[in-house]
Amino acid sequence: TRPFTLGARADSYYEYLLKQWIQGGKKETQLLEDYVKAIEGIKAHLLRQSQPRKLTFVGELAHGRFSAKMDHLVCFLPGTLALGVHHGLPADHMDLARALMETCYQMNQQMETGLSPEIAHFNMYPRADHKDVEVKPADRHNLLRPETVESLFYLYRVTRDRKYQDWGWEILQSFNKYTRVPSGGYSSINNVQNSHKPEPRDKMESLFVGETLKYLYLLFSDDLELLSLDSCVFNTEAHPLPIWAPA
């Protein structure tokens, strides 16, 4: 059996429960009910806090055992939660969105390059000289993924708190410093923990232009009607799709 995860191969399902409900004019209540039930399940079974900063994170459950492992992909979740609140879901979803957004920011911030690893493990026990976010050697690459800045875009749109723009600006500066290629373009890197030798991979995923830079552009724009959350829904590849008008 596969583990219960919000990371790879499961993330889009939860995102689309909410987004399909919104795009369909909020008529298919079964989608909304399944989404709310999923968030309750996450709260009950997958949420923990790290040490020493008490960062809230979403772990995984396999064969009844909890693993303090969180894919960077899970950082779509604060944005999805905020989008739900924008469309009328309970305020406590926003509390969780803010807490997880802080965690995703720290997944970038606590690395030497200021860029998140592909997978983080969280330290759950108070130990001297240990940060909240720990990385295994096989997981310390960064593929220029969009999830953190995607959620920053939603959090900024919903709260208008400029802190989220500032965090996105820091991440963009880290991309420019450690992944930009002098001859043009950007490259995934092998090691977010080594600012002297990040080890570029000579590969730029299409998602960097199609999603990461698009969400950064929208995050930095103060035109809140530009691809408004009331008129369109972004699919999991960041394509804005119109919300269906009533027939």
Contacts of 99 (CB under 8 A, 6+ apart): 55, 56
Annotated binding site for Ca(2+): 236
Task: Name 47's bridge partners.
Answer: 58
CB 245 within 8 A of CB 232: no
Residue among 102, 118, 147, 211 flagged as catalytic: 118
Query: Residue 164: how many CB atoms within 10 A of its CB?
Result: 25
Rounded to whole angstroms, the Cα distance separating 203 from 226 reads 31
| Residue 94, helix vs strand vs coil | helix
| Residue 82, helix vs strand vs coil | helix
Is 118 annotated in the active site? yes
Annotated binding site: 236
User: Which residues are known catalytic residues?
Assistant: 118
